[in-house]
Amino acid sequence: MDSPPAPVSPTLAGPPADAPTDLPQAPAVEKSYLVQRIARLKFGTYHVVGYSVAGEETVVQVPEMNVCFDVGRAPHFALTSDILCLTHAHMDHVAGVGYYLSQRHFQGMKPGTVLLPREMERPVDNLLRAWRDLERQETPYTLVPMGPNELYEVRRDFGIRTVRTQHGGPSLAYVLISIREKLKPEYLGKSGPELVEMKRSGVEIQYRQEVPIVAFLGDTTAGPVFEHPDVINAEVLVTECTFFEPDHKSKAKFGRHLHVEQFARLLPSLKNKYVLVGHVTRRTGVRRAQRILRKLVGNQQMERVHFLMDFDQSANAGDVEEANPMPPDGGA
């Protein structure tokens, strides 16, 4: 066994006086490995901000919609969303829920609203009560238990729909839905005053149009979730595809995750303008995963496929924080 190095007194530290001065310098470290890199991608009028690596952490935010999907370990940017949608109970997706709520309260922000599968409500509530006791801070929160195929109306013009996913245990996908009131086509030629008069006399002149904007699947294997109209028609689909190597098929099956061969079969039936892939295992790596998928689906399909953790288009955490400044300290 090596003996420990002799302690060096501060006065003796540093190169001896006769040391050559042209020794190569250690290269400057551009970014600390402690700085977590966060993806920030733009799709049409929306941004997707997030981090997603299988088994490690998944947290994906759409800042314009005030919604965060899963919370990972509660990175700074996630705190700014008033609504949090939890897909399932695996630690890499929910670990930060207590921190998210507590920090928001501490920073003087309004209480977070957490949508989650109905079966998770009681255990998550127990967890949060335990944190209240530990922290002695009356952190307020709202849990909204959801079943599959329910619509949570955030506003008259915006709702969040749940879709059952196939991950074993209770798990849900969430779709952000723009709700629009449209004039029925048979009344298109009528004048303003005529329409007002018809409305006053009780005629239904409008119909409700739902437009799916962003669908977030969380963890799932292939199944009916990939046939749901809101999922396949959303402008942006955020899906997992965890495994890519031929000998990882059994891992995908066991963990109820997507293997690239399943995903390649599903992709042509998806009508989404943008398909964003996350939750890629570290065992493969994003660049290799992209190459494997491209080989299976061809260049044309790949034009709309993006990988969340491909950092070509993304920023580091500092840039994202600048884009979403925290409100001033609430003084709590």
Binding site for Zn ion (CB under 5 A): 90, 92, 219
Tokens of 153: 């109306």
Reference 239, options 277, 213, 183, 187; nearest CA is 277
Q: Smaller CB distance to Zn ion: residue 154 or 174?
A: 174
Q: Tell me the closest approach of the beta carbon of residue 252 to Zn ion, in angstroms.
A: 12
Q: Tell me the closest approach of the beta carbon of residue 219 to Zn ion, in angstroms.
A: 4
Residue 164 CA to residue 161 CA, distance in Å, equals 10
Q: Smaller CB distance to Zn ion: residue 93 or 161?
A: 93
Q: Tell me the closest approach of the beta carbon of residue 140 to Zn ion, in angstroms.
A: 28
CB 40 within 8 A of CB 24: no
Q: Tell me the closest approach of the beta carbon of residue 16 to Zn ion, in angstroms.
A: 53
Q: Tell me the closest approach of the beta carbon of residue 90 to Zn ion, in angstroms.
A: 4
Element (H, E) at 318: helix 317-323
Q: Is 226 left (phi over 0), alpha (psi -120 to 50) or beta?
A: alpha
C-alpha dihedral, 231 to 236 to 239 to 243, nearest 10°: 130
Burial level of 82, CB count in 10 A (0-12/13-18/19+)? middle
Residue whose entry in the numeric block shows the structure tokens 């080989």: 295
Residue 248 CA to residue 259 CA, distance in Å, equals 8
Q: Smaller CB distance to Zn ion: residue 92 or 230?
A: 92
Q: Smaller CB distance to Zn ion: residue 54 or 320?
A: 54
Q: Smaller CB distance to Zn ion: residue 118 or 190?
A: 118
